[in-house]
């Protein structure tokens, strides 16, 4: 009987913590106030043939991304300056391995890059785009990756997959 009560209390605690985290992201993302900081969810998009095991933006975990995919989910949250400045950069760290399921090479390789943030007019989600040859772009925007108004207009990752081309 006592074990059942402990399990119920533990489940309730997990629920409260989960809701708190979601509420924090929802209330910070794109919020307008006199604060100097804003918060937004992290969205990863992978335009490479490699599996990204995990990635971080200024030490905030962003998840994992399969080859030629991403953009559909978000992880909460990273804080950043509400107003853009010319010297605004973030540190992106990520680890990759072969994206080929037939490959026996599962060795993780760590990468790190300081990435300048292009000008943005309002707070939004932090999109981290991974390209071949360790090119990384980071955008702060409120439009999705497939939207014609997305900065840089990279298109969907699957459109860049050479194995999908006919």
> What pLDDT shows up at residue 30?
47
Q: Where are the domains of the chain?
A: 2-164
At 99, the pLDDT band (50, 70, 90 cuts) reads: low
Q: What is the largest CA-CA distance in the chain?
A: 62
At 15, the pLDDT band (50, 70, 90 cuts) reads: very low
At 14, the pLDDT band (50, 70, 90 cuts) reads: very low
> Where are the extended beta strands (E) located within 58-155?
60-65, 69-70, 75-81, 89-97, 109-116, 125-131, 135-141
């Amino acid at each position: 009987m006592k074990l059942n009560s402990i399990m119920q209390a533990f489940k309730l605690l997990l629920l409260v913590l989960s809701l708190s985290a979601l509420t924090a992201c929802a209330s910070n993302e794109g919020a307008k106030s006199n604060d100097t900081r804003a918060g937004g969810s992290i969205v990863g998009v992978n335009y490479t043939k490699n599996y990204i095991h995990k990635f971080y933006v200024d030490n905030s975990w962003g998840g994992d991304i399969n080859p030629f995919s991403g953009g559909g989910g978000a992880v909460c949250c990273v804080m950043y300056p509400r107003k853009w400045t010319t010297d605004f950069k973030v540190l992106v760290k990520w680890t990759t391995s072969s994206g080929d399921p037939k490959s026996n090479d599962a060795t993780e390789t760590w990468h790190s890059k300081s990435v300048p943030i292009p000008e943005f007019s309002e707070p939004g989600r932090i999109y981290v785009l991974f390209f071949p040859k360790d090119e990384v772009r980071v955008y702060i925007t409120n439009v999705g990756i497939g939207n014609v108004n997305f900065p840089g207009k990279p298109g969907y990752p699957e459109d860049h997959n050479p194995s999908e081309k006919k």
